[in-house]
Amino acid sequence: MRALLVVAVLATCIGAASAQTPQQQQQPPRPGNANLRPVPDGPGIRSAELQGLDKVTARTQRFYVPVGKSTRFGTLEITVGDCLVNVPEAPPESVAYLTIVDHKPGQAEERLFSGWMFASTPSLSALDHGVYDVRVLSCTMAQGSSPPSSR
C-alpha cells in the first residue's frame, strides 16, 4: 500500500512539473523587497526604458525594451527578463532583470551581465565594459514604437 501511495505522489509531482510552461521555469528570482511589483496594467507594452552610453563616441541613446524581448546596442544584446516598480507609498524605484551578451565580430559571444539593475543606484549592480555603459531609467508601459533618441 505504501508503494502505491509513493508512486501516486511521484506521478502527481512529475505531472505538475511538466505542466509548467518554459517561461514559468525561466522567471528570474525577484529581489527581496516586498514593495516591488510589476508595472500596473494599462495601454501599451510593459517595458524597461534603458540608456546606453558609447564611451568611444560619447553618445547616449535611450531605448525601450519590452519584458521578455531583446535589443541590440552596439555589439551588445540586451534582454529584459522582468521590470518592477515600487508601490505608490514607497520611494520611487524601478528595477529590471537584464542579461547582456557581447557579440564581438570574430569572437565567441560573452555574457557580461545577468542580474537586477536598479534605476536609483546604477553603480550598485553595473555593467563592466570598456566601450559601453547600460543603465535602467524606468519601467513603464511603452506606447507603440518610437525610434531611439541620441544626444
Using CA atoms, how far apart are residues 136 and 119, in angstroms rounded to an integer?
Answer: 5
Using CA atoms, how far apart are residues 31 and 46, in angstroms rounded to an integer?
Answer: 18
pLDDT at 91: 84
Longest dimension (CA), the chain: 73
pLDDT per position in the chain (151 positions), as tens? Answer: 333 333 333 333 333 333 333 343 355 666 667 778 888 788 889 999 999 999 999 999 999 999 999 999 999 999 999 999 998 888 889 999 999 999 999 999 999 999 999 999 888 888 888 999 999 999 999 876 544 544 4
pLDDT at 20: 35
Residue with cell 528570482: 29
Q: With a threshold of 0.75, does the pTM exceed it?
A: no
pLDDT at 144: 61
pLDDT at 32: 66
In three-state secondary structure terms, 9 is helix
CA distances from 70 to 10, 49, 67, 98, 110 (A): 38, 13, 8, 10, 16
pLDDT at 5: 33
Residue with cell 536609483: 120
pLDDT at 60: 95
pLDDT at 30: 65
pLDDT at 69: 96
Q: Nearest CA to 52 among 102, 115, 107?
A: 102
